[in-house]
Amino acid sequence: MFFLYNLERRLTLHPSYFGKNMTELVTTKLMKDVEGTCTGSYYIISVMDSFTISEGRILPGSGLAEFTVGYRAVVWRPFKGETIDTVVVSVNQHGFFAEAGPLRIFVSAHLIPGEIKWDPNGTPPSFHDEETTIQVGTHVRVKIIGTRAEVGDLWAIGSIKEDYLGYFLPP
Amino acid sequence: MLKNFRAGDRLRYPITISKFMKNKGDEVQRGEALLQYTYKFERTIGDPALNEERTVEETGYADWDCPTEGTINKWLVKVGDVLTKSQLFVAIDEPCPHDMQYAGLCTKCGKDMKEITWATESMDTDRATIAMVHDNVALTVSAQEAMKAEIDLQRRLLQQRKLSLVVDLDQTIIHACIDPTVGEWQRDPTNPNHGAVKDVRTFQLDDGPRGVTSGCWYYIKLRPGLVGFLERMSEYFEMHVYTMGTRAYAEQIANIVDPDKKLFGHRIISRDENGSVTAKSLQRLFPVNTNMVIVIDDRADVWPRNRQNLIKVTPYDFFKGIGDINSAYLPAREDTLGAAATAAAAPPTPAATPTPIPIRTNGDAPKSPNAPGHANKIPEHEKAVAANPNGVDDAILQLQVQEQERALEKQLKERPLLHMQEELDKEDTEPDPSESSEEGTTTPPDSPEQQNGHSPTPHHRHNLLRDDDNELSCVEQHLTVTHKQFYQQYDARRASRHRIQEITSELIPNVGAVLDYLKGQVLRNCTIVLTGIVPQGVDVMVSEIGLQIMSFGADLKRKPTSRTTHLVVSSARPRTDKVRKAARIPSIKIVNQDWLAACLAEWRRVDETPYLMDINPGDRNRSAAADDDMEDDEDDKSQPKANAANPGQQSIFEGDESAGDVSDDEDDEDDEEEDPFGVIPTEPASPVKELVKMDWDDMDDELAEFMGSDVESDSDAESLYQGGGGKRKHDDLASEDGDSAEEGTGSTLSKKQKLAKARTTGLRNVENVGENGDDDDAADAAAEEEEDGGDGGDGGATVGASQEGGGEEEEDNFDDDLEAELEAEFEKEDEKEGDEDESMED
């Protein structure tokens, strides 16, 4: 699920950048630093704007200036029970991996409906039933049934063993 | 899913079960108290100041908390039981066995497996520890699940009558390099290498921060016949790629080799998912059993656990001196047979194409030791490049990456291929003796394969790169045979118990055993000694090549003995101690390493004749009798070939002796004759004794043949006689001013050796006549007679004389000769000998 989230971050700036466009520099640096990262429980997708930039404080010893920046960002946090649209990236006999943006979700064969069978002889091997084939590149609607987070990374387990889940035509 | 839980090691044993708080059928949560128990412990009470301290035994009460959630199926203990150590405690029916996990999450229930509480005795992640999918290490399964998956796989393969084939990339089915020279040659049709490189495939790879090498072009040469090979093999095998390159690299190569993903599908495993940075393991893909898996790889040492399943192929070395671009990730190559072979190799040696195209190898093999002039230059470049990726033995990936980096950068900057071609061109423009001999070897008149490599250029430049590899056809044959054998065994086993439809593991033969059997037949009954092939300080028994020889059923020994059948000599060092020793033993065939390479590549005992080493005449004289005995023993299959090849062989020998480098021969020879003086007294096998073993009947035949036949070509015989006996004449001259009065033991022995040597060519003919007499081949016989005519004069006479037991005249002559020779040559030999010994001794 996406959120607009108010966050704060401390940034340092090298003395050689001190000048009139410092604000701009700080904002740029902020975007470079935080966009696309994972904090552990959510991904920071995009910085909307930075609304407060504190006065710079020279760090004793190094001469770097430290700013505390308050900013608003679009973040994405996958929840257990959430349904998301994904693209299959890898298929094996135990299930398949699907990606939703930065998040990689594994859907095991147990959580794939019984009629969708693993066919190891296909080229390439895939899960399929009469109508649908799940192979690399297929768009799949997945329900997240569990997530785990470590610093800088998130993993999720998904299921397509419910109504309205599984193969879907991309819009 | 029922699971039994143990009481755990952290309790204060002995404990007494006092009360169950949950009973059978109750639902329990993790951390919930299931039972109460009591334990005894000692406590110190009293006031230490008053010295009233004493210990009392007290009883503690504690709960045992549930390590998991589920339903209690059964208590495995009773109230009142006293437990002295951890034991099975309770069986709990769990809703989810957590037997497949992805990055610490159960893939079935989505629970976090890394959660630890006070109640958990063991980690939940231990329930699934086996990573068995190709492209992800985070996905793990339990042993049970792995077994199930594998049985499914085996059943499917058996139905399709297939096996699994694991294929290595670098130097097995392709050869890659990043030397930009290749690109330039590709664009330049006038370059002599253009023909060879025009179908080289390229791609750009940017896998990670690489500095100079980032985004550079990779040049990929497919091994000749690869497409057809894979196509045909895919009918018999389900194929996997297993490489030590990065994932991105592996996928690029797979795109080239298999653009439709029909052959490999997504069954690609690379270094990124391997788990180990130094070794490959089949257990990574087939954790339970490898009964139906064959590996083809150019390196055996990276498969420490799976040698049985391995078919080792000759490394594909198209871009000379580049080696394996991913070899920094592997332990240093110690596969010395390959190295020795390339060391001896001007590009078209038999080693480069171990499958003998008969005409070529016949011409090349005996010459390869004679034409090292060019060959010596390449290894230097090779060393410069190869030394870099090698030598890394510790498994620290970081180091390896740096190493790889450096090797690649070096290749980009130094352009070894360009250097080598320049070198080659230089040799072409400077006509020198080594060039002429090189000419002889590189362009034998009739070798269509090589002509393909040449592109016609006005000033005939030699091309460095050759597209003449034939290994895949051998491998294909081996694979097909193995597949056939496997399914024969399988069918036999099935037929024997036709009632059972279920496929059980006993029904499936072990393809490793099949391979072992097939390989073991190749060099069975051979006893092999190596010399000059394994570097000093390496135990031959555990060396790569040694292990390989033994896996082919041969008996590997350290020293040549009478039981030895083959001595494999490095053509770079043809005169070691072992060679001299072996030359004296009749039954040993002395061959160069290419014979061994050919046997190992073709899986059959290749006919030794084209590979026989040119034994130095000095060593040979004592082995004259040996050759005959040996060739009598030759098995029937190789007989015709041997006959066909022998005349050529002999003409080479004759040529050598009559070529006029008599003085050279004598240098070596005297060197040799002086050397044995120390040895001979302790040496029981004197040449005369070998006469006892000789086939006198054969000799009689020969004599009869000789006497009976007309010596038609007198002039030929005469000239040959002069040629062959040139040395003798020389000796005669020397003897005139020599002192012939001395008679010592040493000289007698030498004389006898001399005697034996004089017979050398004669005896070889004896054997040939004997053979030819059988099949009455007129042409052959005529050829033989001509040669006989040359040597018959002394050879026949000598045999006759010694047969009578006397031969006084002859002996006297030889005595004189020898003494004179010794006198004359002694001083000048002294210095030379020193040098020679240093260079020749092991």
Predicted pLDDT at B241: 94
- Are B642 and B634 a contacting pair, CB within 8 Å? yes
Show Cβ contacts of residue B746 under 8 Å, excluding neighbours closer than 6 positions: B677, B680
Please, which pLDDT band fits residue B61 given cuts at 50, 70 and 90?
Answer: very high
DSSP string across A92-148: ETTEEEEEETTEEEEEEGGGS-TTSEEETTSSS-EEE-SS-EE-TT-EEEEEEEEEE
| Residue B411 pLDDT exceeds 90 | no
Chain A nearest-CA distance from B132, in A, is 10
User: Taking Cα atoms as reference points, which of B696, B698, B717, B700 lies closest to residue B782?
Assistant: B717
Residue bearing tokens 């192929």: B313
Asked if the Cβ–Cβ distance from A146 to B110 is below 8 Å, we say yes
Q: Which residues of B touch A92 (CB under 8 A)?
A: 133-136, 139, 266
| Residue B362 pLDDT exceeds 90 | no
Predicted pLDDT at B204: 84
Instruction: Tell me if chain A has a CB within 8 Å of the CB of B160.
Output: yes
Predicted pLDDT at B704: 65
Predicted pLDDT at B757: 56
Q: What is the mean pLDDT of chain B?
A: 70
Task: Give the whole-angstrom CA distance, residue B351 versus residue B154.
Answer: 38
Predicted pLDDT at A72: 94
Residue bearing tokens 């709960």: B63
Half-sphere exposure of B672 (CA within 13 A, CB side): 26
Most confident residue range from A75-84, B199-208, B389-398, B699-708 = A75-84
- Mean pLDDT for B421-444 is 53
E strand or H helix that includes residue B520: helix B511-522
- Mean pLDDT for B176-190 is 85
- Mean pLDDT for B555-563 is 86
| Residue B815 pLDDT exceeds 80 | no
| Residue B776 pLDDT exceeds 50 | no
For residue A110, the cross-strand partners are: none
- Are B9 and B89 a contacting pair, CB within 8 Å? no
- Are B482 and B520 a contacting pair, CB within 8 Å? no
> Where would I find the H helices in B198-238?
226-236
Asked if the Cβ–Cβ distance from B102 to A93 is below 8 Å, we say no
Which one is predicted more confidently, B444 or B699?
B699
- Mean pLDDT for B296-317 is 89
Percent of chain B with pLDDT over 70: 58
Instruction: Tell me if chain A has a CB within 8 Å of the CB of B134.
Output: yes
Task: Give the whole-angstrom CA distance, residue B404 versus residue A1.
Answer: 43
Predicted pLDDT at B717: 41
Asked if the Cβ–Cβ distance from B261 to A123 is below 8 Å, we say yes
Structural tokens at position B612: 């026989």
Predicted pLDDT at B265: 85
- Are B650 and B781 a contacting pair, CB within 8 Å? no
Active site residues of B: 168, 170
* Sheet strand arrangement including A126-128: A117-119, A126-128, A133-134
Give which of A79, A82, A88, A92 to mutate to test B binding, by max B Cβ within 10 Å: A92
What are the pLDDT tens digits along chain A (171 aa)? Answer: 999 999 999 999 999 999 999 989 999 999 999 999 998 889 999 999 877 899 989 999 999 999 999 999 999 999 999 999 999 999 999 999 999 999 999 999 999 999 999 998 887 889 988 888 999 999 999 999 999 988 888 999 999 999 999 888 777
Please, which pLDDT band fits residue B797 given cuts at 50, 70 and 90?
Answer: very low
Predicted pLDDT at B53: 87
Please, which pLDDT band fits residue B409 given cuts at 50, 70 and 90?
Answer: confident
| Residue B246 pLDDT exceeds 70 | yes
For residue B17, the cross-strand partners are: B37
- Mean pLDDT for B278-290 is 90
Task: Give the whole-angstrom CA distance, residue B506 versus residue B813.
Answer: 75
- Mean pLDDT for B509-514 is 91
Pairing state of beta strands A83-92 and A95-100? antiparallel
